[in-house]
Structure 1
Amino acid sequence: MAKGEIRDEADVTARRSWKQDPEAVRENILQTARAVFVAHGLSGAKMDEIAARTRTSKRMIYYYFGDKEGLYRAVLEDAYARMRRAEDDLELESLHPVEALRQLTEFTFDHHSRERDFVRLVMVENIHQGRHMSKSEMIAGQNSSAIRLLEEIYRRGCDEGLFRSGLTALELHWHISALAIFNVSNRATFSNIFGTELFEPKGQDMLRRHTGDMVLRFVMKPGLSPEDVEQRPQTKPRKIDPGIYRFIEVLEAQQASLPAGTTLEARRVLYNSIARNLRLPTPPNIETDTEHWIDSDGGPVRVRIFRHMSSGPQPALIYLHGGGFWRGSPESHWDTTARLASWTRQTVISVDYALAPEHPCPTALEQTLSVIAWAREQADTLGIDANRIAIGGDGAGGNLAAVTAMTCRDRNIPLCAQLLIYPICDFDLTRTSCRQNAEGPLLRPDDVADMGARYCPDKKRLISDPMITPLSAPTHADLPPAFIALAANDPMHDSGAAYASALKKAGVAVSIDEGEGLAHDYLRTLSHCPLAEDRLRIMSDWLHEVFRFAGDGA
Structure 2
Amino acid sequence: MGEGVMDGGQGRQRWKQNPEGVRRAILDAAQAEFARHGYASTRVEDIAAQTATSKRMIYYYFTDKEGLYLQALESAYAQVRQGEAALRLDHLPPVQALRTLVEFTFDHHRAHPDFIRLVMIENVHNADNLRASGLIGRVNKGAIEKLADLLARGQAQGLFRPDILPLELHWHISALSFFNVSNRPSFTESFGGSLFAEAGQARLKAQAVEAVLRLVQAGADTLTPTPETPMLNPELTGFLTAWTEKWAALPPGASPADRRKRFEVIAAEMRLPTPEDVDCETEHWIDSKAGPVRVRVFRHRAGGTQPCLIYMHGGAWMQGSPETHWDITSRIASANRQTVISVDYALAPEHPFPAALDQCVAVARWAHATAGSLGIDPARIAVGGDSAGGNLAAALALDLRGSEVPLIAQLLIYPACDFDKSRPSYSENAEAPLLQVKGMDMVNAMYSPDTAQLHTNPRVAPLVAASHADLPPAFIAVAQNDPLRDSGLAYADALRSAGVPVTQDNGSGLIHGYLRAMEYCAASRTALAAMTDWLAQQQTV
Which aligned pairs between 1:106-505 and structure 2 lie closer than 5 A? Answer: 163-165=172-174, 166-169=177-180, 231=220, 234=223, 236=226, 237-505=229-497
Amino acid at match of 2:230: R
User: Is 2:498 the counterpart of 1:506?
Assistant: yes
Residues 432 and 511, structure 2, Cα contact 8 Å, conserved in 1: yes
Partner Cα distance (1:440, 1:499) in 2: 21
The count of aligned residue pairs is 355
Structure 1 residue 167: deviation in Å? 2.1
Q: Structure 1 352/159 Cα, relative in aligned 2: closer, same or farther at 3 Å?
A: farther
* SS of corresponding position for 1:459: coil
Distance 1:366 1:164, change over 3 A: closer
| Offset, 1:331 | 0.3
Q: Could you say if the C-alpha distance between residues 293 and 160 of structure 1 is closer, same or farther in structure 2, counting changes exceeding 3 Å?
A: farther
Q: Is the Cα contact below 8 Å between 1:427 and 1:449 reproduced in 2?
A: no
Name the CA distance, whole Å, in 1 between partners of 2:270 and 2:220.
43
RMSD: 3.2
Q: CA deviation at 1:311?
A: 2.6
Distance 1:179 1:318 in 2: 48
Partner deviation per Cα, 1:315-344 (whole Å, 9 max, x = no partner)? 000000000000000000000000011111
Per the TM alignment, residue 171 of structure 1 is displaced from its structure 2 partner at its CA by 6.2
4+ residue stretches of structure 1 with deviation over 3 A?
158-162, 169-180, 224-235
Instruction: Tell me the distance in 2 between the aligned counterparts of 1:301 and 1:225.
Output: 56
Provide the secondary structure at the position in 2 that maps to 1:454: helix
1:164: Cα distance to partner? 3.8
- Partner SS state of residue 452, structure 2: helix
SS in 1 for 2:172: coil
**Do structure 1's residue 518 and structure 2's residue 510 form an aligned pair?**
yes
Distance 1:249 1:337 in 2: 24
Query: What amino acid sits opposite 2:350 in the alignment?
Result: E
Residue-by-residue CA offset, 1:134-192 (whole Å, 9 max, x unaligned): xxxxxxxxxxxxxxxxxxxxxxxx99767241522376799999999xxxxxxxxxxxx
Offset of residue 253 of structure 1: 1.1
Letter in structure 1 aligned against 2:303: S
Q: 1:162 to 1:402 in 2, by over 3 A?
A: farther
Tell me the distance in 1 between the aligned counterparts of 2:472 and 2:520: 33
Instruction: Tell whether the 8 Å contact from 2:214 to 2:221 is kept in structure 1 after alignment.
Output: no
How much has 1:528 moved relative to structure 2?
Answer: 2.0
Asked if the contact 1:427–1:448 (Cα under 8 Å) also holds between the matched residues in 2, the reply is no
**TM-score normalised according to structure 2 size:** 0.61
Structure 2, unaligned stretches of length 5 or more? 1-98, 100-166, 192-210
Mean CA deviation greater in 499-508 or 370-379: 370-379
For residue 379 of structure 1, report the CA deviation from its aligned partner. 1.1
TM-fit CA distance, 1:448: 2.7
Q: Secondary structure at the match of 1:416?
A: strand
2:132 maps to what in 1? none
Q: TM-score normalised to the size of structure 1?
A: 0.60
1:530 aligns with 2:522: yes
Of 461-470 and 444-453, deviating more is 444-453
Distance apart, 1:462 and its partner CA: 1.4
Shift of residue 258, structure 1, vs aligned partner: 1.6
Q: Structure 1: which 5+ runs fail to align?
A: 1-96, 98-157, 181-219
Which secondary structure state, in structure 1, belongs to the residue aligned with residue 407 of structure 2? coil
Higher RCO (C-alpha under 8 Å, 6+ residues apart): 1
With over 3 angstroms needed to count, the CA separation of the structure-2 counterparts of 1:266 and 1:164, relative to structure 1, is same
Give the Cα separation in 1 of the matches to 2:187 and 2:253.
Answer: 40
- Give per-residue Cα distances to partners, 1:388-438, cap 9 Å, x unaligned: 000000000000000000110043421000000001000111111111101
Matched-pair contact (CA < 8 Å) for 1:391–1:401: yes
Is 2:278–2:298's contact at 8 Å kept on the other side of the alignment? yes
How far apart are 1:254 and its partner, in Å?
1.2
2:85 aligned residue:
none
Give the C-alpha shift of residue 244 in structure 1. 2.2
CA contact (8 A) 2:352 2:446 kept: yes
The answer as to whether partners of 2:368 and 2:405 remain within 8 angstroms in 1 is no
Structure 1 residues 452 and 410 mapped into 2: Cα distance closer, same or farther (>3 Å)?
farther
Tell me the percent identity.
47
**3-state SS of paired residue (2:311):** strand
Contact 1:241/1:518 (8 A) holds in 2 = yes
- Going from structure 1 to structure 2, the CA distance change for 1:471 and 1:477 (only over 3 Å counts) comes to same
Bigger mean CA deviation after superposition, 444-453 or 368-377: 444-453
- Residue type of the partner of 1:454? M
Q: Deviation string for 1:474-511 (max 9, x for gaps)?
A: 00000000000010111110000000000000000100
